[in-house]
């Protein structure tokens, strides 16, 4: 049974009258936790895509980039997306339920936010309503404001991202401390660590853009430090 069939079954339980709480309680442990993670991104992504008033083809394409959909699963995946988009549950309820599936500080929630950022910027515009939506979801997830700004700096191209914001460090920190943060971020992003947390393969796709941004920020900071010597 493919993950999309399992996801559709879980969402069908909602339409059949089962509560969101009951559905997510069944998805708290591996391997079904990956189903819950995927449902959360689908539901939150569908609702966020409407935050700016419309769902664009680019946003749907971005959704397909986050999720690795095989040709034989396309019809089932489309059904899941439409079910999530039509579900009456509010985005805050989904965010609350998914946050309860993971321990406080679990990086899985950060990966989910990154997937949503990827969808949000797909149409070339980061709408204020999308920012409000993501900031509220991050708050529910227990992600601190400075970390949210760091995540936003990796994705939103309003201007050249501040490399210190990307790494979540400050210019007054020593190079040794900044290097330590960079190495920790690289280690946490390793695919083996993500799979060990029970995340689906799609999380690896999200991690690729994170790794590029992290390494680019470190390179810029270290090059500036060398010039200042």
- What ranges do the domains of the chain cover? 3-228
Q: How far is 37 from 219, CA to CA, in rounded Å?
A: 32
b (16+ CB within 10 A) / e for 65-94: bbbebeeebeebbebbbebbeebeeebebb
Q: For residue 177, what pLDDT is reported?
A: 94
Q: In sequence order, what are the residues at sequence separation of 6 or more whose Cβ sits closer than 8 angstroms to the Cβ of residue 143?
A: 109, 110, 113, 151
Question: Of 192, 184, 182, 191, which Cα lies nearest the Cα of 222?
Answer: 182
Q: For residue 67, what pLDDT is reported?
A: 63
Q: CB–CB of 141/113 below 8 Å?
A: yes
Positions in the chain whose pLDDT score sits under 50 = 229
Q: For residue 138, what pLDDT is reported?
A: 92
Q: CB–CB of 83/15 below 8 Å?
A: yes
Instruction: Please provide residue 134's backbone torsions phi and psi, each rounded to the nearest 5 degrees.
Output: -65, -35
225 to 149, 154, 211, 220: CA distances (angstroms)? 23, 21, 21, 9
Q: In sequence order, what are the residues at sequence separation of 6 or more whose Cβ sits closer than 8 angstroms to the Cβ of residue 30?
A: 198
Q: CB–CB of 20/97 below 8 Å?
A: yes
Question: Which helix (H) or strand (E) covers residue 171, if one does?
Answer: none
Question: Of 119, 140, 100, which Cα lies nearest the Cα of 20?
Answer: 100
């Amino acid at each position: 049974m493919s993950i999309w069939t399992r996801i559709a079954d879980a969402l069908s339980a909602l339409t059949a009258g089962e509560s969101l709480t009951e559905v997510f309680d069944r998805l708290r442990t591996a391997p079904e936790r990956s189903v819950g993670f995927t449902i959360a991104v689908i539901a939150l992504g569908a609702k966020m895509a409407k935050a700016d008033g419309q769902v664009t083809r680019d946003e749907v394409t971005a959704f397909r980039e986050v999720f690795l959909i095989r040709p034989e699963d396309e019809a089932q995946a489309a059904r899941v997306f439409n079910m999530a988009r039509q579900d009456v549950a509010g985005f805050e309820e989904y965010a609350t339920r998914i946050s309860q599936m993971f321990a406080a500080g679990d990086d899985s929630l950060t990966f989910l936010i990154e997937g949503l950022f990827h969808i949000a910027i797909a149409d070339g515009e980061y709408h204020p309503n999308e920012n409000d939506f993501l900031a509220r979801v991050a708050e529910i997830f227990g992600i601190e404001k400075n970390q949210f700004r760091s995540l936003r700096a990796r994705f939103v191209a309003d201007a050249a991202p501040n490399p210190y914001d990307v790494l979540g460090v400050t210019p007054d920190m020593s190079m040794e401390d900044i290097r330590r943060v960079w190495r920790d971020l690289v280690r946490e992003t390793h695919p083996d660590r993500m799979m060990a947390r029970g995340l689906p393969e799609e999380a690896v796709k999200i991690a690729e853009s994170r790794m590029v941004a992290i390494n680019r920020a470190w390179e810029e900071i270290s090059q500036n430090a060398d010039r200042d010597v």
